[in-house]
Amino acid sequence: MQLLRKIAFPFSLVYALIVLIRNFLYDIKVFPSSTFDTRTICVGNLSVGGTGKTPMIELLIDLLSPKYKIAVLSRGYRRKSKGFVLANPNSTAEEIGDEPLQLARKFQDVNVAVDADRRSGIRKLERQIGPDVILLDDAFQHRKVQPDSSILLTAYDELYTRDWYLPTGNLRDSKNQAKRADLIIVTKCPENLSEQQLKKIAEEIDPQPEQQLLFCSLAYADSLKGYQEGVRLEELNGTKFSLVTGIARPEPLVTFLRSKGLDFEHLGYPDHHFFTAAEIQNLADKSHIITTEKDYMRLEGQLDNASYLSVRHRFLKDGEQSLLKRLTAL
């Protein structure tokens, strides 16, 4: 795989040139960006997948929904429908995508919609719902919309500052576009980062004076949901199970479960993978499946032996209060 990425280096140079020209044309207003009356908050990254965008959207909903009427707009990656779709109690992952379905199931008072055309999606949400705030999921590189505030995520062990353009690296946008973010959040940090380590990362990212840099780690639930509802992880000691993941970076979850001394096989699939009938049959023959909440959205109704482990962001220091204060001030 690494060899193929090195061979693809000339293609990454072409990709980089296209990205730089595109951003330049937006910067000088040749390509227009639209603004809207409704407050919009963008959550995204410069790389492909694996920074924890959906848990961050969930955290923003928790922080903002007590005071504001919230709607979420996503592309609905790998869904099988087209155009604008507003989630309802009967929505499926095939119709709106696994991550939007996860949000719609978890936050039933929040309107979740999908539309590849973000401008059209915002207008339809404004007409049909009239929200106070629209959270734009995975839209940092979608420059047809000029959000009121932007949150850029980057993973601790894969900082965008150390990356390169696709297909040699994982960058889908230029590093210098980090300047458009109001907040930069380093996700998936070890909980015990020292002040010296935090300072070193801050020096590497080098945020602008008006930008705020925050750090957070992943906090996994201590009990399961789904088939083995309420079963605590320590109760699985001595029981072998199958971990099924179809996410960009399953390593943190694998490491977390290994740290608990649990015995399992890991069956990894591509991100947002829709399981074939043969794959479902193979999984159905397993004694017990544990998966991620996102994967469960695609497996639910097809397996009766699957449970999932939810995850959330836990900010280091007083980061959560800083985030809320910053968002309400912007």
Residues tagged in the binding site annotation for ATP: 47-54
Strands 133-137 and 39-45: parallel
Handedness of CA 129, 135, 138, 141 (dihedral sign): positive
Question: What's the start-to-end Cα distance of the chain, in Å?
Answer: 43
Query: How far apart (Å, rounded) are the C-alpha atoms in residues 167 and 262?
Result: 35
Binding-site positions: 47-54
Strands of the 183-187 sheet, one edge to the other: 85-86, 111-114, 70-74, 133-137, 39-45, 149-155, 183-187, 212-220, 311-315
Strand-pairing partners, residue 186, are 154, 215
Nearest CA to 57 out of 9, 99, 119 is that of 99
Q: Is 269 exposed, middle or buried (0-12, 13-18, 19+ CB in 10 A)?
A: middle
